Structure 1
Amino acid sequence: MIDESLFIKLQNFGLNQYEAKAYVALLSTGTSNAYNVSKASGIPRARIYDTLEALTTRGVVMFEESTDGSKNYTALPASVFLEQAREKWTNTYNHVEKELKAIESQDKKDNTYVSTVRGEKNILAFCRNLIRDAKQRVIISIWDTMYSELADDLKACAERGCSVSGITFEVENPINTLDKHRKNKSHNSIDKKKWFILSVDSKELLYGHSSELDSNAFYTDDPTHIYLLEDYIFHDVLVNRILEKENKEQVTELVLEILSKMKITF
């Protein structure tokens, strides 16, 4: 029994529904005439001939015509079909990438904006691209679940010579250039939504809800946003290091007292 989702996925390779079913049927049955392909695939006989003709024209299906005029069809081997699909996709991707980046680099406006990035997959993909494009440094504030998704990218960034600094929350073994935030009742409260901040080369910034919350993050290249949130991370690191070295209880009480008077939750 063939999973119906296969036909849907094959349509991403440029085949329509009937073409996908005819190709799979031929792979399964071997060389066959149109009648048998129709029977094996469930494609109406009124549509099987134009479907096979389209596949033949594209080179996905081969045919032999006998002396009596009848035709037998054979599917292109799966490995060959997939290699052709890979090459076509790669060529298309490379062309589109080149064109889009050229367009993006033209006529930059002086105005700065904050754009919204929605959803877990989009946020993670955006983070990975920013980290991979980093030239000099990455500054980050991040919680455990999201850190686990980006750990390999951060390690690779550090290995190619970028500075990676900042602070992690509830991460057992972050890379050694990142600080571990001390455990804190306020940060661990059940209604406290986790966040992240990612600054790259002090030129691009992504921040917002931690990706697993499947909510919103915000992207900007505004220098003021970048300065303020990098400064926030630096102060968080500084306070954390002081508390690690000094009388923790006494300093913690002092910090919380000051922040409480300022009506800041810490």
Structure 2
Amino acid sequence: MAGKLAVEANESDPLLTDLKRLGFTEYEAKIYVQLLRTPLSTAYEISKGANVPRPNTYHSLEALAQRGAVLPVSENPVRYVAAPPDEFLVALSNQTQALCEDLSKRLTSVAPAPNDQYVWMLRGESSVHSKIETLIKESRVSIWIKASDTVLRRHTDVLREAAARGLDIFIVLFGPDAEEFRFGPTCRVYIHEGNGVRMGTTDNLFTVSIDHVETLTAAVEGEVIASYTRNGPIVNLAESLVRHDYYMAEIFARLGPQIEEEFGPYLRDLRLACFSPEQAASFKHRTGLD
């Protein structure tokens, strides 16, 4: 019973799970990890230590040797060592990237023209922010953004590079310091409504429009989820959102006291008249206003 439990625990090892995500079979993953733990092992010793049937051990060792994950280093008997993980995984990453780039070009040549009506969904912090980085890096004309300073800081480097390329960068900022994100003469930053305070649930969204042809909007608090599209009307809608917030920022900069006197702080009277109960509760919590 104890041996069975040990095998089950070994099979649930997250190292094995992640190696299988990289294309290893169950047996190959077990053997590679076993060789890292006990180098210079024979096939018999590997089979016993990794709990892999001996015929499968020989087959898996051959497959691992072909991909450079293990290396036979002696004869009579043959003993094996595992390739250092840092060197092997870097090589695997480079090979995979090169293959993906080549395959992308070849598949694109046989695929029909993209349908701009699609809206693609992305889930997870890593996927969403990786897509944002890619969009900014590949931009050629303009980058329009409405976002909080906490999110923008994650993308400071690529935004600075885009500014160096002379792109039109237009930012409506939730946050107090516009200067932090003015990366050059083509980078315009406006504090949302003159104060940069996030007051409702929609103010927690990140919106970016690239080159007037594609846009991404993401919820970046709680479950991170985003929508991406090249659909013309939706892109226009996203840019209209940023553009009108720019109008509001300029209006508040010139007429702020008069607006507050008429509608209350943070446009309280206007907002509470049309907010949903959830939005109203968020507004009151963030501003302390009723």
Q: TM-score, normalised by structure 2?
A: 0.71
Deviations 1:145-189 (A, max 9, x none): 43233333222221222111120113645412221223377x425
SS in 2 for 1:237: helix
SS in 2 for 1:212: coil
User: How far apart, in 1, do the equivalents of 2:66 and 2:224 lie?
Assistant: 46
Question: In structure 2, do the counterparts of structure 1 residues 84 and 200 end up closer, same or farther at CA, with 3 Å as the change threshold?
Answer: closer
1:124 to 124, 129, 144: 129
Which residue of 1 is the match for residue 231 of structure 2? 222
- The question of 1:28 aligning with 2:30 is answered no
Deviations 1:128-161 (A, max 9, x none): 2221111011111112343233333222221222
User: How far apart, in 2, do the equivalents of 1:255 and 1:232 lie?
Assistant: 21
User: How far apart, in 1, do the equivalents of 2:87 and 2:249 lie?
Assistant: 58
User: How far apart, in 2, do the equivalents of 1:229 and 1:96 lie?
Assistant: 32
Output aligned runs, 1:70-89, within 5 Å. Answer: 71-78=77-84, 81-82=88-89, 84-89=91-96
User: How far apart, in 1, do the equivalents of 2:99 and 2:146 lie?
Assistant: 36
Output aligned runs, 1:196-235, within 5 Å. Answer: 196-207=206-217, 209-214=218-223, 216-235=225-244
Contact 1:25–1:37 (CA<8 Å) still a contact in 2? yes
Question: In structure 2, do the counterparts of structure 1 residues 162 and 65 end up closer, same or farther at CA, with 3 Å as the change threshold?
Answer: same
Deviations 1:29-70 (A, max 9, x none): 33222222233333344643443344345553326443xxxx
User: How far apart, in 2, do the equivalents of 1:163 and 1:57 lie?
Assistant: 50
1:97 to 86, 94, 104: 104
Which residue of 2 is the match for residue 4 of structure 1? 13
User: How far apart, in 2, do the equivalents of 1:94 and 1:118 lie?
Assistant: 21
User: How far apart, in 2, do the equivalents of 1:38 and 1:242 lie?
Assistant: 74
Q: Which of the two has greater helix per residue? A: 2
AA paired with 2:191? K
AA paired with 2:113? D
User: How far apart, in 1, do the equivalents of 2:59 and 2:196 lie?
Assistant: 68
Contact 1:204–1:220 (CA<8 Å) still a contact in 2? yes
Contact 1:7–1:17 (CA<8 Å) still a contact in 2? yes
AA paired with 1:90? Q
Which residue of 2 is the match for residue 195 of structure 1? 205
Identity %: 24
Question: In structure 2, do the counterparts of structure 1 residues 86 and 150 end up closer, same or farther at CA, with 3 Å as the change threshold?
Answer: closer
Instruction: Please provide the CA RMSD for this pair.
Output: 3.5
User: How far apart, in 2, do the equivalents of 1:80 and 1:236 lie?
Assistant: 50
- The question of 1:136 aligning with 2:148 is answered no
Contact 1:135–1:201 (CA<8 Å) still a contact in 2? yes
Q: CA deviation at 1:96?
A: 2.2
Contact 1:114–1:218 (CA<8 Å) still a contact in 2? no
Q: CA deviation at 1:16?
A: 1.6
1:159 to 155, 161, 164: 164
AA paired with 2:130? A
Deviations 1:95-116 (A, max 9, x none): 1232344456x5355xx42514
Contact 2:65–2:71 (CA<8 Å) still a contact in 1? yes
Query: What is the aligned residue count?
Result: 254
Question: In structure 2, do the counterparts of structure 1 residues 77 and 196 end up closer, same or farther at CA, with 3 Å as the change threshold?
Answer: closer
User: How far apart, in 2, do the equivalents of 1:254 and 1:135 lie?
Assistant: 42
SS in 1 for 2:78: strand
Deviations 1:81-103 (A, max 9, x none): 34542343133122123234445
AA paired with 1:42? N
